[in-house]
């Protein structure tokens, strides 16, 4: 049985992805920080769409979260053929007035964590099966975003990385 793994799945765009995938009959593995939101969403999707849904609580700001998530996948014996790399965050405010550590958290979640999850997905899943990777970016990737400078820049990184990775993976 194949599964789609969605990060940041408990709310926002991640939750919307979960509903869209469920409506298409895809089995889901939901990852986010909120156990109560994940549990409720998994129950709803499973009942409404008659699909297999499991969930795992993970804070992707943890530098080892990618290992923990894919360790859970391996432990459960799930066959993940799609990763929707959606977890992300942004802050609003004048750059110099926002705490530097908060800026670094945005950068880590939007870029480092995304890279770690993509790498873990591509190195631990079956390369002989068709696999899909969707990295969520933003329209903010296409222009400077005043008062959200780190968010816009991090989403530009995601866009550029995704284009480059797409080219590499098409060659296989």
Residues that are catalytic: 151
Task: Using alpha carbons, select from 44, 13, 36, 65 the residue that is nearest to residue 28.
Answer: 44
List, in order, residues 6 or more apart from 99 with CB less than 8 Å away. Answer: none
């Amino acid at each position: 049985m194949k599964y789609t793994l969605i990060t940041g799945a408990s709310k926002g765009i991640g939750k919307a992805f979960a509903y869209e995938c469920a409506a298409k009959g895809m089995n889901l593995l939901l990852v986010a920080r909120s156990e109560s939101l994940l549990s409720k969403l998994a129950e709803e999707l499973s009942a409404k769409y008659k699909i297999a849904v499991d969930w795992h609580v993970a804070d992707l700001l943890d530098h080892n979260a990618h290992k923990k998530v894919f360790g859970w996948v391996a432990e459960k014996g799930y066959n993940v053929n799609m990763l929707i790399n959606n977890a992300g965050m942004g802050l609003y405010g004048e750059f110099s007035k926002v705490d530097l550590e908060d800026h670094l958290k945005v950068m880590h979640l939007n870029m480092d964590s995304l890279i770690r999850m993509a790498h873990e997905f591509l190195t631990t899943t079956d390369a002989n099966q068709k696999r899909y990777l969707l990295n969520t970016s933003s329209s903010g990737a296409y222009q400077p975003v005043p008062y959200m400078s780190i968010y816009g820049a991090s989403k530009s990184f995601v866009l550029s990385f995704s284009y480059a990775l797409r080219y590499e993976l098409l060659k296989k």
